[in-house]
């Protein structure tokens, strides 16, 4: 579960299963618990009487307990509210900084460590099941948050186009897209990773389609940090036309829009770009990724010939 202050979701304090494993397991595998500094393992929630004030008072030590499935449900609820009352919901999300808080709860590093742990399992089967549940819940939350952010972009791009939200969001997005899922994962986990990838590719495509000119520098900067790993993911995705056609299409849509926006930038800006690196640099001039780029081109050509 995730324990966070009741008045905000800004800090993810603790992530654990409903039934914690033995203490020895926790010491052996510290990634099974996500603990923010300055918070205690156990918290209490003081009650406040309605007679004390018209509105309940939030005390400094008051905390709320949430789980990744609950966060996924909250994202679904907010998504539906955006459809019914987009203006009022958007205003409330901005005033409460809800999207920034929800995005801050995505821990791509924790997810990556858990997946690596699944590929190199410990002998305790109960612990492996515990880690698997963690991974599935986190991936479900990532997918739900991606859907919510897409709806926000369609309702009002300014809900997402904020540096405090966009920069860490893109960093986490490309870290998740860098996860290797080819070997060592059982089918259920592999399918969950692929679904999260599909939703993230849709989110990136929507972001570039709605805010291409303003978001391209941020997208390119985040992509450059994981360029070779993301190419490997793209090459894997384009070969899933039969087993996972949704992922196949989402990946190619993202590439098409990314290259289209880069083409517009080059066309309208004859001189060098005001930021670096650019997509053109990553494709044509980055010495360290020439082999990966050649592999990407080969994969795209194979799709064209399919």
For residue range 263-296, list pLDDT tens digits in order.
Answer: 998 888 755 567 778 999 999 988 889 999 999 9
Q: With a cut of 70, say whether residue 243 has pLDDT above it.
A: yes
Q: What is the structure's pLDDT at 173?
A: 96
Q: How does residue 169 score in pLDDT terms, banded at 50, 70 and 90? A: very high
Q: For residues 93 and 149, what is the distance between their CA atoms, to the nearest angstrom?
A: 11
Q: What is the structure's pLDDT at 131?
A: 86
Q: Give the residue among 177, 211, 183, 214 at the shortest CA–CA distance from 196.
A: 177
Q: How does residue 20 score in pLDDT terms, banded at 50, 70 and 90? A: very low
User: What is the token pair recorded at 190?
Assistant: 């592999």
- The answer to whether the peptide bond before residue 277 is cis (omega within 30 degrees of 0) is yes
Q: What percent of the chain has pLDDT over 70?
A: 74
CB 248 within 8 A of CB 240: yes
Q: How does residue 118 score in pLDDT terms, banded at 50, 70 and 90? A: confident
Q: For residues 107 and 109, what is the distance between their CA atoms, to the nearest angstrom?
A: 5
Mean local confidence (pLDDT), 201-208 = 98
Residue with the bigger pLDDT between 119 and 243: it is 243
Calculate the alpha carbon distances from 127 to 35, 109, 111 in Å: 19, 19, 16
| Whole-prediction pTM | 0.79
**Of 142-151, 224-233, 235-244, the least confident:** 235-244
Mean local confidence (pLDDT), 14-23 = 40
Beta strands 63-66 and 2-5 are antiparallel
With b for 16 or more beta-carbon neighbours within 10 A and e for fewer, the 247-270 pattern comes to bbbbbbbbbebbeebbeebeeeee
Q: What is the structure's pLDDT at 42?
A: 41
Residue reference for tokens 């300014």? 158
Q: With a cut of 70, say whether residue 52 has pLDDT above it.
A: no
Q: What is the structure's pLDDT at 125?
A: 72
Mean local confidence (pLDDT), 61-72 = 80
Q: What is the structure's pLDDT at 101?
A: 94
Q: Give the residue among 149, 48, 132 at the shortest CA–CA distance from 93.
A: 149
Q: What is the structure's pLDDT at 102?
A: 95
Calculate the alpha carbon distances from 249 to 69, 100, 295 in Å: 27, 29, 19
Q: With a cut of 60, say whether residue 11 has pLDDT above it.
A: no
Q: With a cut of 90, say whether residue 137 has pLDDT above it.
A: yes
Query: What value does the mean pLDDT of the chain take?
Result: 80
CB 12 within 8 A of CB 65: no
CB 4 within 8 A of CB 58: no
Q: For residues 105 and 141, what is the distance between their CA atoms, to the nearest angstrom?
A: 9
CB 223 within 8 A of CB 282: yes
Q: What is the structure's pLDDT at 6?
A: 43
Q: What is the structure's pLDDT at 122?
A: 61
């Amino acid at each position: 579960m995730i324990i966070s202050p009741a008045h905000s979701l800004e800090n993810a304090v603790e992530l654990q299963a409903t039934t914690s494993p033995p203490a020895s397991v926790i010491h052996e595998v510290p990634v099974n618990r996500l603990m923010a500094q300055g918070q205690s393992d156990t918290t209490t929630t003081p009650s406040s009487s309605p007679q004390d004030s018209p509105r309940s008072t939030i005390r400094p030590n008051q905390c709320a307990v949430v789980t990744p499935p609950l966060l996924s449900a909250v994202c679904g609820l907010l998504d539906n509210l955006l459809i019914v009352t987009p203006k009022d919901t958007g205003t409330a999300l901005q005033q409460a900084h809800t999207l920034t808080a929800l995005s801050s709860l995505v821990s791509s590093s924790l997810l990556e460590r858990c997946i690596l742990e699944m590929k190199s399992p410990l002998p305790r089967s109960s612990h492996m099941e515990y880690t698997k549940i963690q991974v599935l819940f986190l991936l479900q939350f990532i997918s739900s948050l991606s859907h919510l952010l897409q709806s926000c972009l369609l309702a009002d791009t300014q809900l997402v186009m904020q540096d405090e939200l966009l920069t860490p969001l893109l960093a986490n997005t490309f870290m998740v897209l860098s996860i290797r899922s080819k070997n060592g994962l059982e089918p259920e986990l592999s399918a969950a990773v692929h679904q999260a990838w599909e939703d993230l590719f849709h989110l990136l495509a929507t972001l570039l389609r709605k805010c291409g000119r303003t978001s391209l520098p941020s997208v390119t900067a985040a992509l450059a940090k994981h360029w070779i790993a993301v190419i490997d993911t793209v090459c894997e995705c384009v070969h899933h036309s039969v087993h996972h056609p949704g992922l196949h299409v989402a990946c190619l849509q993202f590439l098409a829009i990314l290259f289209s926006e880069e083409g517009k930038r080059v066309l309208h800006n004859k001189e060098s770009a005001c930021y670096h690196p650019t997509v053109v640099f990553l494709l044509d001039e980055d010495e360290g990724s020439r082999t990966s780029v050649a592999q990407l081109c080969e994969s795209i050509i194979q799709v064209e010939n399919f």
